[in-house]
Amino acid sequence: MGNLRSVQKAFARLGHVAEIVSDPGRVAKSDRLVLPGVGAMKDAMQALRDNALVEPIHEFIRSGKPFLGVCLGLQMLFDVSYEDGEHPGLGVLKGSVRRFDVPRPLKVPHMGWNSLRWVNRPPIASGTSDGDYAYFVHSYYVAPDDRSVIAAETEYGAPFASVCCKDNVVATQFHPEKSQRLGLTLLDNFARL
């Protein structure tokens, strides 16, 4: 759901071939997998189920090949989202997806440019710095049960996980395809893993 073409075009701009696939058999044959998304967890998970992609995504992640989640693609990796009810995610990472409760004058959704503070640096973070800016559009954030999966945090009323990483899985709450130098660096590094 959402920003498939813009992510594909960002890889093409960097000189990497990226193909949009919906065939479950193609997922396993991929060298790397990106799960982008825009919208709500309930609808996105239903789209994955309708296209028989849930188990192929799990198998791909278990294979150890590089996996990147983007925006809703990060949120779908978690156990549950509380957006418009309670909806299960992929359960790859333990934790939940919760709505921002921010003080005034901050608004929800969190939209626009905000900086990152690296806690752990996954390989795709090579060439980036604390304070680099990324482009965010989201009303919900991930709350990992295990803080060791947090690779970067961003401040919006309080710190929240803006990049998560575990083993071969890395995911961003922001949109790297819209985050200029920082985002293109992350995507290029991912494509070279």
User: Any idea which residues carry the catalytic annotation?
Assistant: 71, 175, 177
Cβ neighbours around 57 below 10 Å, total:
21
- C-alpha to C-alpha distance for 106 and 69, rounded to whole angstroms: 26
- C-alpha to C-alpha distance for 140 and 28, rounded to whole angstroms: 30
Q: Which two tokens stand for residue 159?
A: 């710190």
User: How many residues can be counted in the chain?
Assistant: 193
Please report, to the nearest 10 degrees, the dihedral formed by the alpha carbons of residues 77, 81, 86, 88 taken in order: 0
Omega before 144 within 30 of 0, i.e. cis: no
Q: Which two tokens stand for residue 171?
A: 């995911």
Nearest partner of 161 among 96, 65, 68, judged by Cα: 96
- C-alpha to C-alpha distance for 13 and 28, rounded to whole angstroms: 25
Largest Cα–Cα distance of the chain, in whole Å?
Answer: 48
